[in-house]
């Protein structure tokens, strides 16, 4: 392992974290609050360094880094601090007649030692937000930042330990070999943000120890555009959601558009106007356009553009600067569904447009692919909107805008199927790293004789009645039990109730 492990192996690191958790330190409410306040203080005091690290990794503008990463991270922490006192309280729930008298609670308790493997495309936010949830729930945490964003990874390794309790919250840097060694250990829960290929490796490693996982992946996020819209507004929202989100390197960025053949030309023209307004006539020189993360991803995107099935389909953009790792916003029209860029997640500044005769066909195109992390629709047609929500399966949806669902702390964020499993954000982050322990309490009064052997047909009848909501047989039995307990000794009177003889039913 590297120097960040202080000479200790991954197994020793995990063992140490388990000891810390066993001490009960992280369960203390005041400890959790202190760590969260320290993270807020770190964000305030080190904003310049955070923004600089993000710029070095992805050339994100200061504004984009602040709006889409730094501010959202701080907001997540402040939201958690505001709500945590309520979240940690046991939740009272109803009981059933079968357990009367009783009380029931759901008690949130931390899982234990959490491993968080974060992504490179939003290297600060996607690292710190899961850590916030894990701390809030009372766990010890090991954060493994992405080595593909080395500056932000280095920031976490050097700076975070100065603010938080490093004995319970650790940052471990490294590449694939270090990550593999970490995955060999037994964790209490693992969260991975990235792509489905690596997610399968993570899940296979977790399965050896029956470790639960949260997988935040991606997929081809579709965007359906109806003609019944405010086209100028829609174009701006599409452009900022696609190219203003890390130059399309975002798991929730629109991956492709579906619109009608008759409306496609108008949509393309509106997108061109918005793109030129935002990034100028030479977008490769724009400081508001992020670069591609590395040469490997640049080559992958160039390969998508060189696919013969999209030859002649570029209607805007296409310029490339390999030295600066930049590709201009690129729109392709009438892209066939069997083109390479329609078979894999693009994760870059290329936006293919698929045209159909009727938007009803769009649902079949979307559902023929793996379930995406996000799906978008622009329309004023309420019936189309209802069909979209009902027909399309996705991790989340947004109508008449893009990517903003990620900012809502009251909505869960997560995928389904190939786009992931589990979710977080706000209270959902606290829940993601908390085990919901069921607690039922009873006292020593009121015995129900039909739960004990010998099991007679009459007892079975009472139990069935109780399970179906009929309490009358139980009342009969309890009244008789009380009568027998109170009647004079040697009494020979019969016990008749509501026209039936129950005297021998519940001995």
Residues recognised as catalytic: 216, 251
Separation of alpha carbons 366 and 219, rounded Å: 11
Separation of alpha carbons 354 and 263, rounded Å: 11
* DSSP state at residue 331: E
Token pair of 292 as six digits: 């591609």
Report which of 260, 226, 254, 225 is spatially closest to residue 240, judged by C-alpha positions: 254
Beta partners for 91? 106
C-alpha pair distances (Å), 312 with each of 59, 305, 309, 333: 30, 10, 9, 9
Residues 377/224, Cβ–Cβ less than 8 Å:
yes
> In whole angstroms, what separates CA 323 from the centre of its chain?
35
Separation of alpha carbons 11 and 186, rounded Å: 9
Residues 405/237, Cβ–Cβ less than 8 Å:
no
Token pair of 493 as six digits: 């009177």
Token pair of 211 as six digits: 């470790």
Separation of alpha carbons 105 and 95, rounded Å: 9
Report which of 249, 218, 259, 253 is spatially closest to residue 239, judged by C-alpha positions: 253
In sequence order, the 6+-apart residues with CB closer than 8 A to the CB of 199 are 192, 215, 217, 420
Separation of alpha carbons 139 and 144, rounded Å: 16
Per-position DSSP letters for 430-460, written without gaps between them: HHHTEEEEEEEEE-S----GGGSSS--HHHH
Token pair of 477 as six digits: 């039995």
Rounded to 10 degrees, what is the CA torsion of 194, 197, 198, 203? 110
CA angle 39, 40, 42 (to 5 degrees): 60
Separation of alpha carbons 179 and 169, rounded Å: 17
> Strand 213-216 relative to strand 420-421: parallel, antiparallel, unpaired?
antiparallel
């Amino acid at each position: 392992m590297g120097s960040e492990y202080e000479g200790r192996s991954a197994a020793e690191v995990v063992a140490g974290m388990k000891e810390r958790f066993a001490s009960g330190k992280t369960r203390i409410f005041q400890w959790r609050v202190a760590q969260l306040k320290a993270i807020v203080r770190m964000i305030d005091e080190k904003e310049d360094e955070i923004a600089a690290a993000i710029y070095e990794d992805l050339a994100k503008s200061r504004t984009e880094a602040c709006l889409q990463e730094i501010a959202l991270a701080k907001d997540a922490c402040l939201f958690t601090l505001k709500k945590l006192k309520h979240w940690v309280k046991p939740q009272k729930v109803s009981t059933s007649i079968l357990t009367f008298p009783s009380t029931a609670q759901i008690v949130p308790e931390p899982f234990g030692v959490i491993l968080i493997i974060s992504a490179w495309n939003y290297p600060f936010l996607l690292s710190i937000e899961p850590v916030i949830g894990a701390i809030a729930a009372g766990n010890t945490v090991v954060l493994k930042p992405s080595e593909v964003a080395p500056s932000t990874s280095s920031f976490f390794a050097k700076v975070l330990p100065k603010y938080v309790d490093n004995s319970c919250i650790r940052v471990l840097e490294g590449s694939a070999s270090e990550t593999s060694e970490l995955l060999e250990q037994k964790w209490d829960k693992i969260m991975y943000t990235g792509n489905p290929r690596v997610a399968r490796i993570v899940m296979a490693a977790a399965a050896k120890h029956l470790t639960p996982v949260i997988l935040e992946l991606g997929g081809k996020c579709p965007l359906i555009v109806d003609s019944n819209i405010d086209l100028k507004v829609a174009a701006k929202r599409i452009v900022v959601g696609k190219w203003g989100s890390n130059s399309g390197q975002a798991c929730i960025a629109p991956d492709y558009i579906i619109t009608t053949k008759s409306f496609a030309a108008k949509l393309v023209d509106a997108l061109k106007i918005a793109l030129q307004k935002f990034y100028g006539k030479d977008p490769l020189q724009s400081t508001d356009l992020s670069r591609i993360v590395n040469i490997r991803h640049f080559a992958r995107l160039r390969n998508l553009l060189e696919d013969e099935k999209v030859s002649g389909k570029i209607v805007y953009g296409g310029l490339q600067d390999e030295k600066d790792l930049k590709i201009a916003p690129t729109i392709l029209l009438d892209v066939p569904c069997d083109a390479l860029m329609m078979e894999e997640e693009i994760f870059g500044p290329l936006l293919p447009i698929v045209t159909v005769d009727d938007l009803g066909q769009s649902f079949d195109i979307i559902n023929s692919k793996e379930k995406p992390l996000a799906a978008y629709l622009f329309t004023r047609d309420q019936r189309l909107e209802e069909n979209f929500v009902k027909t399309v399966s996705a991790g989340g949806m947004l109508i008449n805008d893009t990517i903003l669902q990620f900012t809502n702390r009251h909505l869960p964020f997560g995928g389904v199927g190939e786009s992931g499993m589990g979710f977080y954000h706000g209270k959902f982050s606290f829940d993601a790293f908390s085990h919901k322990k069921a607690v039922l309490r009873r006292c020593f009064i009121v015995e129900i004789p039909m739960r004990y052997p010998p099991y007679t047909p009459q007892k079975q009848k009472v139990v069935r009645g109780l399970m179906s909501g009929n309490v009358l047989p139980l009342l009969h039995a309890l009244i008789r039990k009380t009568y027998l307990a109170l009647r004079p000794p040697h009494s020979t009177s019969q016990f008749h109730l509501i026209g039936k003889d129950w005297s021998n039913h519940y001995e």
